[in-house]
Each structure stands twice: as C-alpha cells, then as structure tokens.
Structure 1
Amino acid sequence: MSTTEPPNAQPGIADIGVIPLTVRRFTLEELSAITGLTVPSLRNLHRQGKGPLMYRMGKRLYCDEPDLLAWSIKQKAETGKGIGA
C-alpha cells in the first residue's frame, strides 16, 4: 500500500498480482446458433439442469465459453460411438 492511500484501502488487482482474464460470454441466441438447439430447448435444458452451465445477469441467461466446451465434451463422452469413443 502506498503512503497516499487511506489506511483501510483495499488492494487493487494490480497490487495483488492478479491478471484479469477475458472469457467469451454467449447469449442464448448465440448459443443456439453454435449448438443448433433452439432457444426454447436451451431454456428447457437449463430448467432441467441438463444443458451447459448458464447463469442470469438481470433477465438474460448467459453461458461462458469454457462451460459450453465442458458440456460439449461431456456430451461427446456420453453419446459418442465409433473409433476413439
């Protein structure tokens, strides 16, 4: 902490050596275009806890790219057939 900050100041991101990461966030419409599933189907999967991890910000649902990838890998492992499955 520098001498110009008040004694109760919280350290900032730069002060504690954390590098902020940028993660791609998809809307339901983008997720629909990527997966080929309809927006209502994605909403139903979310309600049932079966789709990719989604979360609300305000009234909208979002899915982060790593969560979509993890769900896709899980689907492939559970349903894949053929060589390498």
Structure 2
Amino acid sequence: MIFYSLYDQIGTDLIQNVPDRIRIIPNTFVGGEQSKIEACRAGHIMMTKTRGLLTDNVVELVLLLLLAVVQMIFKEIK
C-alpha cells in the first residue's frame, strides 16, 4: 500500500514502477487524475476513494473562520 499526502507528487512513472507487492493506493482527495487511474488499471493496482471523509471538518472550519471574522468586526466597531 502506498500512502501519500496532498503535496506529494505521485506520477504515472512511480505507479508503473512499484514493486509487485503493492496492490492498493488509497486516495483521500477530491478527484483523481485520469492518467493515474489508467496507470493503476494497467498495473492491476486498486485505487480507492474515501468520499466525504473531510466534509464535516471543512464545514466546522468554515464556520469557525466566519465567527472569527464577525468577532473581529465587532471589536473594530467598539
């Protein structure tokens, strides 16, 4: 299994040259490059997606940022 972050560059050349014991590449990001999907299919490697994994976290972060902005505005008004 290969784990990678949003900032790692996983190209088709890496996927094509992975050892035979690698059989799955989990994808936790939105979307997926078609070239990576095709490279995985050619190498008989599963590429998974975890849709909606961070949806709640993103909503909470946006609400907290909005509250922080409102708080900053009220501090400036006083």
Same fold (TM over 0.5): no
Structure number with the higher helix fraction is: 2
Quick one: higher RCO (CA 8 Å, sep 6+), 1 or 2? 2
With the shorter chain as reference, the TM-score category is: under 0.3
What is the TM-score of this pair, normalised by structure 1?
0.23
